[in-house]
Amino acid sequence: MLLRYTTVLTLASALLQPPGVLFLLAIFGWISELLGWRYLGRILLFIALSMLYFFSTAMGARLLLSPLENRYPPLNGPLSGAQKPGAIVVLGGGEVMTSPKSRQETANARTLVRLMAAARLAKRTHLPLIPSGGAPRFGVAAEATTMAQILRQDFHVSNPIWPETHSYNTAANAANSSVLLAEHHIQRIYLVTSALHMPRAVAWFRLSHLDVVPVPTDYRLNQIRPYRLGSWLPRAIFMEISSEACHEYLGLLWLGLQKQGLGSGD
């Protein structure tokens, strides 16, 4: 049941964010042309091409990213006194193969940046760390296990590490981490993840009754760089960034619908 649920969510996400949604618009436009609805078909094709261009430029990517990455400012330094959290939670961002013919996986660049920020904060605060992330597929180690090994071996973190190894998405990261934290009587945490992902992550962790101090990292674009001619030229990297931003907006929309459902059930 869980596998079927995650498969449906993955399929829906792929079709509702670029480039999947652009293919759908183009297909509907083509079908409309075949059915004789020429104006509707041309409008849909025009919208698909316009969105393709917008999502593929630095200008479009920046407009989508700014509300997400600017939501929470960078953490200037550890908190002290009554504001001091009791643990550091760092979320996994994916894995890559160690070599083309290997079955062994390691953290991807995004996860490494998150781990770097978490390790730096851990050495300054001496707080326990919770790397959160389940197995990306059946038969391989949980992402949190890999993250814990990197924290020990590569970043030389000596703090206690409590891996949370069962999560398959951000909602599960929050729910499972809250259970683990409750076992240690901790409610206030530092939360380390990509700045792009932080608004959705904070919302889910707060929904799990945790007091969150955001520690955003892994910023996608330099937002102080002035606009240039190149900002209007389409590139594949900007399509990728736009797609990630749309994924976050869809996730926030889904979270809002979940909250409404919980509220109506009270």
pLDDT the model gives residue 45? 94
Q: Whose structure tokens read 């781990």?
A: 115
Fold entry, domain 81-217? Rossmann fold (3.40.50)
pLDDT the model gives residue 70? 94
Q: Which residues of 227-264 are buried (b: 16+ CB within 10 A; e: fewer)?
A: eeeeeeeeeeebbbbbbbbbbbbbbeeebeeeeeeeee
pLDDT the model gives residue 144? 96
pLDDT the model gives residue 234? 93
pLDDT the model gives residue 146? 95
Q: Helix (H, G, I), strand (E, B), or coil: what is residue 260?
A: helix
pLDDT the model gives residue 266? 46
Asked if residues 53 and 236 have their Cβ atoms less than 8 Å apart, the reply is no
- Would you kindly state where each structural domain of the chain is located, as residue ranges? 2-69+231-264, 81-217
Token code pair at residue 180 = 């683990």
CA–CA gap between residue 98 and residue 75 (Å, rounded)? 32
| Low-confidence stretches of the chain (pLDDT beneath 50) | 2, 266
Query: Phi, psi (5° rounding) for residue 139?
Result: 95, 0
Q: Whose structure tokens read 């590490």?
A: 161
Tell me which residue of 150, 69, 138, 141 sits closest to 109, measured CA to CA: 150
Cis peptide before 19 (omega within 30 of 0): yes
